[in-house]
Amino acid sequence: MFPQRPQRRLNAQAAAEFATTFGDCFSTNAAVREQHGTDESPYPVCMPDAVVFAQCTEDVVRAVRLCQRWNVPLVPFGVGSSMEGHILPIEGGVTLDLSRMNRIVAVNAEDFTVTVQPGVRRQQLNEEIRHTGLFFPIDPGADASIGGMASTRASGTNAVRYGTMRENVVSLKVVTADGDVVRTSSRARKSSAGYDLTRLFVGSEGTLGIIVEVTVRVYPLPEALSAAVCNFSSLQDAVTSVIEIMQAGVPVARVEFMDDRAVRAVNRYSQMSLRETPLLLFEFHGSPSAVAEHAQLAQEITRGNGGMDFEWAEQPEERTRLWTARHKGYFAGLQMRPGARSVSTDVCVPISRLADCVAETVSDLEAMPFPFKVVGHVGDGNFHVQMLLDANSQSEWDQSEAVNRRLVLRAIQMDGTCTGEHGVGIHKMEFLKEEHGEEALTLMRKIKHALDPGNIFNPGKIVSWD
């Protein structure tokens, strides 16, 4: 299933030096290695030769220098929630677990920034800054690490209002291939000083350097929140409603789409009683009067497109239950076919093409022998497909890969992208040429060669070395 890659294994002499350097923070235990060779992608377990548990920036520097000395790959690991094989050490080597680097370094509430180590998780960050009246809005669903979210340029349900990690990472500290620690920018709101190194490393998936500190933007907790569900008889009506809501300038905080299959799965998994038709989940943030005004306008627009009346979830526990059910949609999907192999993929298109792209994709999927569901961050044109395959069927795997390829090419032909938030990893590498062209791919490769001349950092991901 993996492409054939050269192997650079950790030999006994190198392992002895790692063990001397890191002591109990170095492990070759099979169970530990298996845990770090597994993510949420459909790929089989791919175990590293060893795992280093970094506890500080100096540990990362030492690990980088040892890997350079012994010419073995170094693959960063957060919590293992990636979907496209990002953390799998397909060329062997050492996995660098950053989960113990989980300290909040600085809270600058007056500047609306927080600086954290890469192992801090999203929910942990919000719990620890709640007393300041601020929150971090990027919400990919999984309780991912902030370093991993920066590495994959994650986004999620709040992106339509607050943007993605690209817009919300202010500065980074990165350990380079030389073992140097580089700060990519200051905390100033804007700068014209030099190359934008921050944006270079955000989304680089650990292929250019190891992130050891992240400064992110945070926002005031909204005075009022209101959530609502609106059902439709068709996908087209739902998407048309969102386009018109966006054109009307309604500042929706979240607007999520679920097809009828996804709704059924969520109802069964989370004991919900949502109406099982295509639906939109809305959330509005602001002052009480603004929330009421924006929700009223959104409801009028949805009614004009055949939407049913909003079903409100205004109490905190109701909102939490609703969004928790949405975030558990992946696990709900697994119950559609117990024991199946889950293959998830995502694309993003201009919102004007979203309905066409989803409709054509669903038509394609309906001809397949396996169950599936579709959900999406409809406000920014991003949607996800989850396919549940017989784990022992090569035929179903081949068919799912063909569906994925047609979906990606369809999105690119609509001036979209092969991935809106999952990232490239292994699974989407082949599509970068279609999306960006050979010239852009060559430029990416030159950047990789310049910043990581030994091809140590997470090799075999994003772009091929040759």
Q: What is the pLDDT of residues 175-215, one digit of tens each?
A: 999 999 999 999 999 999 999 999 999 999 999 999 999 99
pLDDT for the residue 106: 97
Element (H, E) at 173: strand 169-175
Taking CA atoms, 268 is separated from 335, 362, 375, in Å, by 9, 22, 16
- Pick the closest to residue 201 from 164, 163, 152, 167 (CA basis): 152
**In whole angstroms, what is the distance from residue 366 CA to residue 35 CA?**
35
pLDDT for the residue 3: 66
Strand ranges, E, within 25-168: 26-27, 50-53, 74-77, 94-97, 104-108, 113-116, 134-135
Q: Output DSSP code: residue 41.
A: S
pLDDT in tens, 211-264: 999 999 999 999 988 899 999 999 889 989 988 998 888 999 999 999 999 999
Q: Which residues lie below 8 Å from residue 218, measured CB to CB, with a gap of 6+?
A: 112, 113, 114, 129, 134, 135, 136
For each of the domains in the chain, give its residue range(s) and CATH number, in order of start: 12-100 (3.30.43.10), 104-220 (3.30.465.10), 224-330 (3.30.70.2190), 336-434 (3.30.70.2740)
Taking CA atoms, 39 is separated from 5, 46, 48, 117, 370, in Å, by 19, 10, 13, 22, 22
Alpha helices in 71-121 (DSSP H): none
| Per-residue pLDDT tens digits of the chain, which is 466 residues long | 666 678 899 999 999 999 999 999 999 999 999 999 999 888 999 999 999 999 999 999 999 999 999 999 999 999 998 889 999 999 999 999 999 999 999 999 999 999 999 999 999 999 999 999 999 999 887 889 999 999 999 998 888 899 999 999 999 999 999 999 999 999 999 999 999 999 999 999 999 999 999 999 999 999 988 899 999 999 889 989 988 998 888 999 999 999 999 999 999 999 999 999 999 999 999 999 999 999 999 999 999 999 998 988 878 888 888 888 888 889 999 999 999 999 999 999 998 899 899 999 999 999 999 999 999 888 889 999 999 999 999 999 999 999 999 999 999 999 999 999 999 999 999 999 999 999 999 999 999 999 999 999 999 999 999 8
pLDDT for the residue 142: 80
* Distance of alpha carbon 124 from the chain centroid: 17
Strand, coil or helix: 194: coil
Q: Output DSSP code: residue 286.
A: E
**In whole angstroms, what is the distance from residue 67 CA to residue 76 CA?**
13
**Encoding tokens for residue 129?**
């800054």
Region of residue 247 (phi > 0: left; psi between -120 and 50: alpha; otherwise: beta): alpha
What is the reported pTM? 0.93
Q: Which residues lie below 8 Å from residue 62, measured CB to CB, with a gap of 6+?
A: 21, 22
Strand ranges, E, within 359-403: 372-377, 382-389
Average pLDDT of every residue of the chain? 94
**Encoding tokens for residue 121?**
């998780």
**In whole angstroms, what is the distance from residue 356 CA to residue 351 CA?**
10
387: which strand partners? 343, 372
Taking CA atoms, 114 is separated from 64, 66, 271, in Å, by 26, 31, 37
* Distance of alpha carbon 249 from the chain centroid: 27
**In whole angstroms, what is the distance from residue 151 CA to residue 457 CA?**
12
**Encoding tokens for residue 204?**
């680089």
